[in-house]
Structure 1
């Protein structure tokens, strides 16, 4: 086994490990100690658990005990169907018990399944479990991929809402079912890992603006997490803004002073969220919003419900006061709120974009260096989406000793990026890749088109 693993590219290691059994471990233990000391860190740095049996294989001592200290990344996948809540909870309990045996975990990816009512509680339980494991002191990156069902009627506890039914369940399920057991009583989240710098959340819906009760889908986060994070990435089918004019956001807002990079991958939502991002993440340096079929609302309703702000004004005011903002990538704004979003004439001209950028600079975004706008085009038979890109760089005006936005480069649809909905995920592309300048001679992609991003 050791010879086979050593001879294969490292990219295949995770796939191999998903089929490793205890018998394989015993065979591996027969090779020389020098061979093991060289191979183990290379092969077992990243492991993947798709079933509880794969995780329990790491409980034993012997050679397995030697493997645990070299593991830095673990991917956990819930094996049951999304609506099999109790089975999923059983698997999750096994994973968390075995995780406690690993002393040097720096990256954790958890692919979970639950229903909407239980998602905040489940993530809160994860933080509680982490607080009692060695990973609490070593973890730097945490990724939640959470598939949600919208209703209690779609899972294996359907129709069993009464307390008598829940009381009859084994006690081990109580903390995972949360409010349904505690009759709505919420527990304060525990402090987050002190070294956590990156948080990735993948969920169906995400509410950006807090309400009086809590900060939805952030209620699992302790204030300490907001202080240590430098990178926050959220992928969601929809992100909503629900402003409440009677609610003082400043009293409940997290302190995101250390956050440098914010990346949002959104489905269908209006980009009226831009002012909210400005108010809540004022100190970020890199902001990326990736969105399919983007459009900006014609007008923004103010909280009193009587006055509207035109789209152009909202766009010009979107990033005022963000003194640390350096790189910005947004969907290409439309110049109307309806019609064909993929048609060329429905998008603001590059000259209009340049005007907005100069408004941001005059409004305080003095460190701005690069701005990229992406315009979507219909997908092809390969389930892919082409994007037309336009990039701006910020240059100094020697006559006025001021900065201004200037058109830098353009990429038409036939030369644009090729994005695949089914393989493109949060965190798979570095921030630098999203702002790279196209080469003079783009390579030819699989479909005979030149593609500068490949």
Structure 2
């Protein structure tokens, strides 16, 4: 009898079965269904239907303490919401996502597609997470993956949404106002509320700053600022990446940084080296007409990416292949001089000086040129360098899940409840 097998032993057995086999086992009897639920539902999408099943007395109420991965997925995720539906969407976020307070072992939250204009999406997310921040279990939350949710809209459409937002009443109005300080400004998340170790942000714009701010900022900015002292991995897919002029936002524990940006310049690399001084892996990429042409239009006599020499703990680096003033990609020999400078073995030809912080731990460097090829350098024994032509990092990343930044692989390996 299944009921006679100790639960700990059954969990151990189920670990060696495929998800398909566990599903088959769960259909054998009510007892096997009940005992296998935690192994089937390790991840779940929170929507109106699943929220009902997760409440007290629901068919999935017994699994809430085992869920590690939750996806916030509103009912409009496959279409743009109309003004008339906005009130229902606010209510849905307020009621359905409230179920997360019962998830005592939740480690990852994925924010699915809201299909809303940016400012209204931020209000909903800010209000939702402001409410979640009051629940003690969420101090243990480790990772948030934010997909691209906002849609561009003209001023007339935004004005219509604003008018509809003003018409919210009762609990829905209180819920929205909880996430807003005044007018359109997003509420601050006090430091320590979310001690996130991993963040994956897919937004139009993000501002890296840790000052007391009066102006309105985005929801993603708040998540980043509130967790900067403990954050270990950060992936940003953004159109504009902005840094504070005060250079006051330092990430002391960050070891992995991936930036996929619509437009970057040489100054941005300098800012990155100041804000992320202890990273061990750096990945920078973007569209050819944005990053690759803007980031390094320098003469070959200068050392490209000289600012990276300020990050002495780097082990792996993935960068766009730099070009000279004639838009010619630098070749293997020219790039080898850059790697030698980083390692403190060759002076920069412009400043006639060695890198003051040699990258003694460097193991791998890859320059991708935005097409189907790139150049990869492998450092052996801290000195010997081997170069080879390879497919660009962006293509390899699509084919190899181990190379993907946090949040780019949406397969969570378990069923989603609908």
Q: Same fold (TM over 0.5)?
A: yes
**Structure 1 residues 11, 73: CA separation in 2 closer, same or farther (over 3 Å shift)?**
farther
**Residue in structure 2 matched with residue 169 of structure 1 by the alignment:** 168
**Residue in structure 2 matched with residue 441 of structure 1 by the alignment:** none
Kindly indicate whether the alpha-carbon contact (under 8 Å) linking 1:100 and 1:133 is maintained by their aligned counterparts in 2: yes
Which runs of 5 or more structure 1 residues have no equivalent in the other structure? 1-5, 17-27, 301-308, 339-345, 378-386, 397-402, 431-454
**Structure 1 residues 108, 311: CA separation in 2 closer, same or farther (over 3 Å shift)?**
farther
Do structure 1's residue 427 and structure 2's residue 406 form an aligned pair? yes
Which structure has the higher relative contact order (CA within 8 Å, separation 6+)? Answer: 2
**Residue in structure 2 matched with residue 350 of structure 1 by the alignment:** 332
**Residue in structure 2 matched with residue 45 of structure 1 by the alignment:** 42
My pick for the range that moved more, 112-121 or 362-371, is 112-121
Structure 2 Cα separation of the partners of residues 46 and 233 of structure 1: 21
Kindly indicate whether the alpha-carbon contact (under 8 Å) linking 1:144 and 1:200 is maintained by their aligned counterparts in 2: yes
Which of 258, 266, 273 is the matching residue for 1:278?
A: 273
SS in 2 for 1:355: helix
Do structure 1's residue 75 and structure 2's residue 71 form an aligned pair? yes
Do structure 1's residue 319 and structure 2's residue 308 form an aligned pair? yes
Structure 1 Cα separation of the partners of residues 334 and 124 of structure 2: 45
Kindly indicate whether the alpha-carbon contact (under 8 Å) linking 1:298 and 1:310 is maintained by their aligned counterparts in 2: no
Kindly indicate whether the alpha-carbon contact (under 8 Å) linking 2:199 and 2:235 is maintained by their aligned counterparts in 1: yes
SS in 2 for 1:319: helix
Kindly indicate whether the alpha-carbon contact (under 8 Å) linking 2:128 and 2:179 is maintained by their aligned counterparts in 1: no
**Structure 1 residues 411, 154: CA separation in 2 closer, same or farther (over 3 Å shift)?**
farther
- Please list, as runs of the form range in 1=range in 2, the aligned pairs for 1:137-156 lying within 5 A after superposition: 137-151=139-153, 153=155, 155=157
What's the TM-score once normalised by structure 1's chain length? 0.68
SS in 1 for 2:112: strand
**Structure 1 residues 376, 316: CA separation in 2 closer, same or farther (over 3 Å shift)?**
closer
CA shift, 1:101, in A, is 2.2
- Please list, as runs of the form range in 1=range in 2, the aligned pairs for 1:39-438 lying within 5 A after superposition: 39-49=36-46, 51-61=47-57, 63-80=59-76, 81-84=79-82, 85-113=86-114, 114-151=116-153, 153=155, 155=157, 158-159=159-160, 161=162, 166-171=165-170, 172-173=172-173, 175-176=175-176, 182-184=182-184, 187-193=187-193, 195-208=195-208, 216-217=217-218, 218-221=220-223, 223-236=225-238, 238-241=239-242, 247-250=245-248, 253=249, 255-270=250-265, 272-293=267-288, 294-297=291-294, 313=302, 315-336=304-325, 346-362=328-344, 363=355, 364=357, 365-377=359-371, 387-395=372-380, 404=383, 406-411=385-390, 417=396, 419=398, 426-427=405-406
Structure 2 Cα separation of the partners of residues 408 and 361 of structure 1: 16
Which runs of 5 or more structure 2 residues have no equivalent in the other structure? 1-13, 345-354, 410-418
Structure 2 Cα separation of the partners of residues 239 and 160 of structure 1: 25
Kindly indicate whether the alpha-carbon contact (under 8 Å) linking 2:255 and 2:280 is maintained by their aligned counterparts in 1: yes
Deviations 1:333-366 (A, max 9, x none): 222476xxxxxxx311111211112222222123
**Residue in structure 2 matched with residue 443 of structure 1 by the alignment:** none
Kindly indicate whether the alpha-carbon contact (under 8 Å) linking 2:296 and 2:324 is maintained by their aligned counterparts in 1: no
**Structure 1 residues 72, 352: CA separation in 2 closer, same or farther (over 3 Å shift)?**
same
Structure 2 Cα separation of the partners of residues 361 and 332 of structure 1: 18
CA shift, 1:90, in A, is 2.9
SS in 2 for 1:182: coil
SS in 2 for 1:104: coil
Structure 1 Cα separation of the partners of residues 144 and 273 of structure 2: 25
Structure 1 Cα separation of the partners of residues 21 and 235 of structure 2: 26
CA shift, 1:37, in A, is 5.4
Kindly indicate whether the alpha-carbon contact (under 8 Å) linking 2:185 and 2:217 is maintained by their aligned counterparts in 1: no
Structure 1 Cα separation of the partners of residues 63 and 391 of structure 2: 50
SS in 2 for 1:124: helix
CA shift, 1:94, in A, is 2.9
Deviations 1:40-99 (A, max 9, x none): 2220111224x4122222113265332212211111222213344444323322332111
Kindly indicate whether the alpha-carbon contact (under 8 Å) linking 1:77 and 1:111 is maintained by their aligned counterparts in 2: yes
CA shift, 1:119, in A, is 4.6
CA shift, 1:29, in A, is 9.8
Structure 1 Cα separation of the partners of residues 178 and 20 of structure 2: 39
The RMSD of aligned alpha carbons is 3.9
Q: How many residues align?
A: 366
SS in 1 for 2:292: coil
Structure 2 Cα separation of the partners of residues 371 and 234 of structure 1: 20
